[in-house]
Structure 1
């Protein structure tokens, strides 16, 4: 299901499936990381490209923090969406590897992806997308993230921290329970290093505490409930609210509710809202 927005008044970035994307790059897998308690796996590939028979192929896969690419696998059979998917590049250009992080489903493509081993290769298109950090660092950014939609924000937060960008960022990260908070240790480490960065975690499942199949959760001192006006105003001062650019990424229902929250309840102008819309991840 596609959400429809007024594209003349809101900065909406849709991922459109390209029928025949060009795969000019080949990456080699060197590590798989299963995120405990979730169905998410991160795949890390060497930054150096494997050789392809194309002209002027760069020695490194180059991209901008927040972008995505198409990944093509061999030996995918019976998948209604064929052998190609687009994924956010969840690593950042400041890191020495290329990473994608995704939920593993029962589709033939996802099962083939989950079975990749060290040394296996995957063909990749050139990076795409404009859901990226602004060139002008004078305005603060507020990220609204839901679940696996945090992947472009991981890329941007790492890059801003490693490059010591003079850019104020506040991220609200909503997840069902503590086990589903992706990259939390990294985010906490980066927040300790970056005085311009603040992360507000919230758990949307009221029953998540003390009811976890993966073990006893730690006492939760963060926010509870879905991101709403009260929560935002608690952590964002008036000046920041009036100047900030808002980035939203997450499941379709979250995108719709966050857009309504910003426009109707907080009266944020549409030209200060950026949305990354993609489904089926």
Structure 2
């Protein structure tokens, strides 16, 4: 369909959007992998005219897509270990990267810390768990940032949460990453602006990671 590198984004234009102050175009990370035979992007539907029109698209409707671009991609050296720090919808570029590495059977070791408000907000977790079970180089750590981290299921009972709780911090990272890995790994941070700010502070001030080993992608809601 068109070529892209896992982690890149594309501008999508909807010609018939009316009344949106941010115009008719948005950019989304391609959340499918180049190894898959379809193009997918993942977003939250909000109240903007663009998002509302997007939610009503039907099979056969057309939108314009730009050439994929962006440098938020895996290292050229596929033996390099990486750590992903994601917040909410910011997990989308990590879906394409993990799928790509798994399908290509690359030696890249990936540890992902995926932070969400609650269990209902976690996306792609079934896919991530399946790929981690298949690929021994993939480790996924989920954490819930809500103080009330158990969610009601459809029956109204509490579903027990056995993962991590709280925001991603130094203690949580060191629980799963040894110092030798920490000294050489590349960090990828993807999420809302507040998360990016706190993760940069965590990595540079508390873990003393040099800026050249940190790559970031900001996700904003619009």
User: Is residue 2:125 matched to residue 1:196?
Assistant: no
Displacement of 1:238 in angstroms is: 1.1
- In 1: Cα distance, 2:157 partner to 2:110 partner: 31
Please report the RMSD computed on the Cα atoms of aligned residues, expressed in angstroms: 1.5
How far did residue 216 of structure 1 move? 4.6
Pick one of 1, 9, 12 that aligns with 1:71. Answer: 12
**Deviation, structure 1 residue 71:** 0.2
- Which residue is equivalent to 1:100? 41
Higher Cα radius of gyration: 1
Larger CA deviation: 83-92 vs 203-212: 203-212
Task: Output the CA distance in 2 between the equivalents of 1:184 and 1:257.
Answer: 24
Partner of 1:83: 24
- Residue 150 of structure 2 aligns to a residue whose secondary structure is coil
Partner of 1:147: 88
Q: Deviations over 1:34-89 (max 9, x none)?
A: xxxxxxxxxxxxxxxxxxxxxxxxxx211100000000112111000111100000
Q: 1:194 to 1:103 in 2, by over 3 A?
A: same
Query: Could you tell me the TM-score, scaled by structure 2's length?
Result: 0.96
Which residue, 192, 198, 220 being the options, matches 2:161? 220
* Number of residue equivalences: 222
Pick closer, same or farther for the CA change 1:122–1:215 going to 2, 3 Å. farther
57, 79, 98: which one aligns with 1:157: 98
Answer 1 or 2: which has greater strand percent. Answer: 1
CA contact (8 A) 1:178 1:217 kept: no
Gaps of 5+ in 2: none
Post-superposition offset of 1:206: 1.4
2:192 pairs with 1:248 = no
Where does the alignment leave 5 or more consecutive residues of structure 1 unmatched?
1-59
Aligned partners of 1:96, 1:214: CA distance in 2, in Å? 38
C-alpha deviation, 1:277, in angstroms: 2.4
Aligned CA distance change for structure 1 residues 217 and 86 (closer, same or farther; 3 Å): farther
Which residue of structure 2 aligns with residue 270 of structure 1?
A: 211
Superposed structure 1 runs of 4+ greater than 2 Å apart: 210-218, 277-281
Which of the residues 100, 104, 109 maps onto 1:168? 109
Structure 2 match to 1:29: none
1:257–1:81 CA distance, 2 compared to 1 (3 A): same
- DSSP 3-state at the match of 2:199: helix
- Structure 2 counterpart of 1:237, from 152, 155, 178: 178
How far did residue 110 of structure 1 move? 0.4
Residues 89, 219 of structure 2: 8 Å contact kept:
no
